């Protein structure tokens, strides 16, 4: 069965879904959306700190690799659950993002006593990103 899954996955769709998730993050955490609020809550002052952008290339590369891993897992789930259309992609994406990503982030934030707005921003990104990736993988088989 594993061999069948690995040969059935549309790897181009997998890469596109990972990049879509990645670029959503660039937009989500930009100044246009939630970046300033997120940085303020974290106590990060980007404009006052020239070293703040140091190592960003490596961080972005790691983030993209993690998006690829998530998209691979979603591609397997799309195959297993026979998600072939937008609605099944939406349902699968919401199920995975809420039950796995948001719940996992929630556990960490409960123990770290992080502010609610930070939780909303971070969970929101993953809920939207995983759902977007799931839809791409579901409709582009």
How far, CA to CA in Å, does 60 sit from each of 46, 53, 80? 16, 11, 30
What is the per-residue pLDDT across 50-77, written as a single tens digit (0 to 9) for each?
666 778 899 999 999 999 999 999 999 9
**Phi, psi at residue 49, to the nearest 5°?**
-125, 100
Q: How far is residue 44's CA from residue 114's CA, in Å, rounded to a whole number?
A: 15
CB 118 within 8 A of CB 38: yes
Residue 45 has pLDDT above 90, yes or no: no
Q: How far is residue 97's CA from residue 78's CA, in Å, rounded to a whole number?
A: 14
In the chain, where are the structural domains located?
Answer: 2-139
Q: How far is residue 127's CA from residue 32's CA, in Å, rounded to a whole number?
A: 19
Rounded to 5, what percent of the chain is helix, strand, coil?
Answer: 80, 0, 20
Q: What is the pTM of this model?
A: 0.92
Residue 3's pLDDT band (boundaries 50, 70, 90)? confident
């Amino acid at each position: 069965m594993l061999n069948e899954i690995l040969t059935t996955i549309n790897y181009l769709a997998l890469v596109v879904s990972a990049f879509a998730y990645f670029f959503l993050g660039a937009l989500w955490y930009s100044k246009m959306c939630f970046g300033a609020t997120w940085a303020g809550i974290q106590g990060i002052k980007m404009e006052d700190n020239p070293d703040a952008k140091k190592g960003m290339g490596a961080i972005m590369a790691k983030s993209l690799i993690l998006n690829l891993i998530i998209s691979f897992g979603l591609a397997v789930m799309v195959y297993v659950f026979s998600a072939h259309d937008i609605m099944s992609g939406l349902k699968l994406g919401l199920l995975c993002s809420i039950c796995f990503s948001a719940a996992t982030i929630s556990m960490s934030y409960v123990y770290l006593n992080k502010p609610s707005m930070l939780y909303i921003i971070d969970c929101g990104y993953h809920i939207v990103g995983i759902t977007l990736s799931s839809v791409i993988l579901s409709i582009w088989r």
